[in-house]
Amino acid sequence: MQVAVVTGPGAVELRDEPRPRAGPDDVLVEVSTCGLCTMERRLFDGTKPIYPVAPGHEAAGRVVEAGDAVASLPGAPQVGDLVTMDLLTRCGTCHMCRRGRSALCKRPQGGKLSDGTISMGAGLAEVVRVAAAQTYRVGEIPVEHAAMGEPLACVVHSVRLGGFRAGDRVAVIGAGYMGRLHLALCRAWGASCVGMVDVSAERRSEAVDAGADWVAGPHDLSGWLGHHDVVFVTAGTPGAVELALDLCDDAGAVVLYGAFPKDVMASVGADRIHHHELSIIGVFSQEPEDWRTAAGLLSSGALAADLDRLVTARYRLDEVADAMTLAVSQPVYRVMVG
């Protein structure tokens, strides 16, 4: 079978790899499509120089083989099922896993191909092997929607840890792909209003089309300051934390979803946090509880219209170089490969 390997900045190739064999608790999935996320873009543009590497962790496809221990097991995905897949590795043994915070597993993530190439999901392939426990049936939905299971699970994790409740007033800083998923999920779960902040007038306009109650640039927020219960930061830029706190009402929560450059610091008044009972919450990745919720949302079709809007382009696996070039050369939501 073939698998895509990024070999350096601007360089990706398809390599032949032995077809994986399912262990007793595994399934083999024929990949239908895989989304290119920030990690793939950073590998391809050279800002994350880990080479060679087989990326791709936002994948979905149909089960073509089930291991002996899970074949016909009630609840387990079976041959023919369309599934979304958790391609991260978790040890289940470290302190974080035992606390139920497996998103922060202490064991390094990833694996290796047969030739020793680092694997970070390796979902840009014809077939993947994955533990049946980490696959989730989604019914008969568009495969592009199924491939959004991983980022949607991350957003479920963000909204859950942020303490969001129906009726809350929400603001989202950053109207890119992850910001738009926050918009879609909070609207579906009963936010009284959701506003979006972005530097791009085009993305603000698209957010309005997607149902945002208000949009604004980061320097045009005088009418929205101090009026929100939860503020999600999906664009980790200098000043974003301070801006998010300014958007909060008393007892508000700032959820830091997007990654920040390592050298970015935030100036936060400790007494302000104390007197106004403000919270700053970091969120990272996702956990099995979030996957179950995300799979249910996908299979229900509740977010289908929102997800349709987020597919920027589709490519075949043999066009992966063109797909990655597009993803790093212009603003996109999700470019799908498969």
Structure-block tokens of residue 66: 């089930």
Same domain, 128 and 10: yes
Q: What pTM value is reported for the model? A: 0.97
Strand partners for 253: 230, 279
Domain range for residue 76? Answer: 2-148+310-337
In a domain, 120, yes or no: yes
The tens-digit pLDDT sequence of the chain (338 residues) is: 999 999 999 999 999 999 999 999 999 999 999 999 999 999 999 999 999 999 999 999 999 999 999 998 999 999 999 999 999 889 999 999 999 999 999 998 889 999 999 999 999 999 999 999 999 999 999 999 999 999 999 999 999 999 999 999 999 999 999 999 999 999 999 999 999 999 999 999 999 999 999 999 999 999 999 999 999 999 999 999 999 999 999 999 999 999 999 999 999 999 999 999 999 999 999 999 999 999 999 999 999 999 999 999 999 999 999 999 999 999 999 999 99
Domain count along the chain: 2
Q: Are residues 144 and 224 in the same domain?
A: no
CATH at 327: 3.90.180.10
Q: What is the DSSP letter of 199?
A: S
DSSP state string for 104-115 = G-SSPP-EE-TT
Provide the CA 199 distance to its chain's centre, in angstroms. Answer: 22
Residue 41 lies in a domain: yes
